[in-house]
Structure 1
Amino acid sequence: MKRVFVLAFLLLGIFSVQSFAQEASEEVTEEEMVKYAAMEAKVQAYIQDKQTTMEEMIKNNEVLGGGARYNEIKGAWGNDEKLAEIEATDEEKAAFEEIQNYIDSIGDEVKEYMTGLIMDKEVLGAATYNKVRKAMSADPAVKEKINSLITEMKESGEEEGVAL
């Protein structure tokens, strides 16, 4: 019985040393954090660009006449009675659908853009992405540091340095 306890204790110690060694080798470097932050800043800038385009589409749409009519149609969309009640024309419906199609495509475009940045070893690389995400989950200080870097990059415009 004593031998089993000692053996279990030694195995536990070995596993602890191995996991500590793995964690120590998994430490995120400053360079990796900067690369990750740059990727995130680029994605946020990309999203902002898409959002600006969407807003311009709504504001400058001659058929809809601006955001108020767009919002009115949006509130009635999917309900033919409400669309008839607000007297939405076929042209307005088509213009609304065109804008909605653009909005619906943004998610896929952002996902594709972000995936491209992550997979590009010059920009970040999948291994670095996974390593940094894991470190951010495990250590709030890492997450705080990266968020700070993202903010600095956005303010200085550094995220625009590399485009896909």
Structure 2
Amino acid sequence: MLITCTPPAVVNGPDPGLMAALGAWTWLGLDPTEIPLAHLLLAHPPGRTDRDTSTAIETRMRCIATSLGGPATAQERLPDLGARLLIVRPTTVLLRFDGTRYGVRLPVRPSWSEHVRRNGQALITIGLAPLSRSAGLTDVDAYLNVTLACGRLLFGVVHPA
């Protein structure tokens, strides 16, 4: 669900249709040093028309990445993308993008939002390849393994506003 979060004059980011189409998954995991870390994955669903080629989907997701402040590849230094998460309720978080007056409402578990609030950050991962919005844990794990191996994931750190 899209939520208006900035004045209407700002309109050079991703359009509302793209943001509404995004799939989002959140979970608590571990960072490379075994410290608990909140994760957020954004991915575009598979195409429904001939215009939704893998190249078009990657271009759209790069637009999303740019509007989040430019996440990096796995080989680059992990960038700080700033305060982009508004914890509305323990089960609802709003993700804010640059260049658009809309944000994406993310349903989350209370333990996820509490971890983000307590630790002040989450790792956001942008998938450049499509993933069905109905993908379960096994599918998400397989997606992450394949897209990481192919260099089709972008990463950054986001914080609560």
Length-normalised TM-score, structure 1: 0.21
Q: Which has the higher contact order (CA 8 A, sep 6+)?
A: 1
Q: Which has the higher helix share?
A: 1
Q: Highest Rg: 1 or 2?
A: 1
Q: Which has the higher strand share?
A: 2
